[in-house]
C-alpha cells in the first residue's frame, strides 16, 4: 500500500462522497481504492457516518410549551393556536 | 427539508419590513422548528436552545428593515441563530476558550486510526437509542465552528454556498471544515460501532 498516497487523498474524501470532485482527482481516488483496503473502509464508514446522522436527525420542531413562550415573548399570542 | 425550505421561502419582504404581524407570525411558524433543532444540537441544553430561539426572532424582527435580501431569508435566520449559539458557547460554557482556535485548518488532517468495517452491522443496532445518544455526544465533542458547519450542511441540508453566507467563510473553508468534522465523527463512530461489532462476533463464538 502506498501510504503517502492515502494521506494525500484523505482531505478529498469528504468531497468525494458528495460527488463534488473534479474528474481527475475522482478517478485517482477510485484507482487508489481498488488497491487500498484501509481507505476503502474509511470511505465506506465516512459515508455511513453521514448517512446515519441524516436519517436520525428527526423532523424540526419543539415542545409546545417552548413554542408558547416564544410566541408570548414575540407578542404574537393570538397566533399560538395556529400550529401546523 | 429542502422541499420545506422552498415552500416556506415565499414571504413578502415588504410586509415583513412594514412590521406586518401576520406575515411575521408566518415566518416564525415556518422556521422556529429548524432554529430550535439547530440550537439544541449546537448547545445540547433545552434552556440555552430556547434562549437562542427567542433571541433569533427578536433580532430578526428588529433588523428586518436592514435585511437586504441578498441571501434568502432562511439563510439570514440561520446566520442570526448560529451567531447567537456561538456567542452563548463563548459566554456560558467555556468563558476562557476561544471558539476559533481549535479548528486548526492549517494543520494536516489527522490520520484515521479506527479502521474497522462496521458498515455490516444491522440498522437496528446502528439506530438504537444508545447509539443515537453516542452520536449526539460525538457532535458535542467537535469544536463549535466545526460543529456549526456539520449541522448546517449535513443536518439542516444547507448548500456549501448558503453555509458560507451563514458563517462568513469562503466556500473552500466550509468544505475543509466539513471534511474535518465528518472525519472526526467517523473516527468516534468507528470506535463505538467497532466495539459493538466485536461484542457481536464474541456472542456468535459463544453460541457456537
pLDDT tens-digit series, residues B136-191: 999 999 999 999 999 999 999 999 999 999 999 999 999 999 999 999 999 999 99
Interface check B174 vs A, CB under 8 A: no
Contacting residues of B for A61, CB less than 8 Å apart:
33, 36-37
Binned at pLDDT 50, 70 and 90, residue B110 comes out as: confident
Where along chain B do its domains lie? 2-93, 101-207
User: Average per-residue pLDDT in chain B?
Assistant: 88
pTM confidence score: 0.89
The CATH architecture that domain B101-207 belongs to is: Orthogonal Bundle (1.10)
Q: Do the chains contact at A13 and B179, CB–CB below 8 Å?
A: yes
A46 touches chain B (CB under 8 A): yes
pLDDT in tens, B10-37: 888 889 988 899 999 999 999 999 999 9
Query: b/e map of A40-64 (b: 16 or more CB within 10 Å)?
Result: ebbbbbbbbbbebbeeebeebebee
Cell of A38: 484501509
* Residue B66: band (very low, low, confident or very high) from pLDDT cuts 50, 70, 90: confident
Residues of A in Cβ contact (< 8 Å) with B112: 10, 38, 42
CATH class of B2-93: mainly alpha
Q: Which residue of A has its CA nearest to B178?
A: A14
| pLDDT beyond 60 at B95 | no
pLDDT (average), residues A9-15: 92
- Which of B109, B112, B158, B171 to probe the A interface (max A CBs under 10 A)? B112
**ipTM, interface predicted TM-score of the complex:** 0.90
CB distance from A8 to chain B under 8 Å? no
Q: Is B138 on the interface with A (CB under 8 A)?
A: no
Shortest CA gap B178–chain A (Å): 8
pLDDT at B106: 62
Identity of the residue in B28, B117, B154 whose CB atom sits nearest the CB atom of A41? B117
Q: Smallest CA–CA separation between A84 and chain B, in Å?
A: 8
B113 CB neighbour count, 10 Å cutoff: 8
Amino acid at each position: 500500500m502506498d501510504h503517502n498516497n492515502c494521506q494525500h487523498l484523505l482531505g478529498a474524501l469528504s468531497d468525494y462522497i458528495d460527488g463534488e470532485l473534479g474528474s481527475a482527482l475522482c478517478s485517482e481516488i477510485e484507482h487508489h481504492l481498488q488497491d487500498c483496503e484501509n481507505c476503502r473502509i474509511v470511505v465506506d464508514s465516512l459515508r455511513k457516518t453521514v448517512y446515519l446522522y441524516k436519517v436520525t436527525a428527526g423532523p424540526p420542531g419543539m415542545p409546545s410549551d417552548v413554542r408558547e413562550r416564544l410566541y408570548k415573548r414575540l407578542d404574537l399570542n393570538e397566533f399560538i393556536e395556529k400550529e401546523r | 427539508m429542502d422541499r420545506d425550505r422552498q415552500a416556506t421561502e415565499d414571504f413578502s419582504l415588504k410586509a415583513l419590513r412594514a412590521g406586518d404581524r401576520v406575515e411575521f407570525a408566518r415566518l416564525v411558524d415556518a422556521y422556529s422548528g429548524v432554529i430550535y433543532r439547530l440550537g439544541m444540537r449546537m448547545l445540547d441544553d433545552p434552556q440555552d436552545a430556547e434562549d437562542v430561539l427567542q433571541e433569533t426572532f427578536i433580532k430578526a424582527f428588529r433588523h428586518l428593515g436592514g435585511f437586504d435580501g441578498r441571501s434568502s431569508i432562511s439563510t439570514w435566520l440561520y446566520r442570526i441563530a448560529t451567531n447567537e449559539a456561538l456567542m452563548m458557547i463563548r459566554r456560558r460554557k467555556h468563558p476562557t476558550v476561544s471558539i476559533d482556535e481549535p479548528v486548526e485548518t492549517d494543520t494536516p488532517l489527522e490520520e484515521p486510526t479506527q479502521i474497522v468495517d462496521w458498515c455490516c452491522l444491522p440498522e437496528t443496532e446502528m439506530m438504537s437509542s444508545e447509539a443515537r445518544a453516542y452520536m449526539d455526544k460525538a457532535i458535542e465533542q467537535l469544536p463549535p465552528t466545526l460543529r456549526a458547519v456539520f449541522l448546517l450542511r449535513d443536518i439542516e441540508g444547507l448548500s456549501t454556498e448558503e453555509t458560507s453566507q451563514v458563517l462568513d467563510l469562503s466556500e473552500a473553508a466550509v468544505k475543509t471544515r466539513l471534511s474535518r468534522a465528518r472525519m472526526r465523527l467517523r473516527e468516534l463512530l468507528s470506535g463505538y460501532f467497532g466495539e459493538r461489532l466485536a461484542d457481536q462476533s464474541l456472542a456468535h463464538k459463544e453460541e457456537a
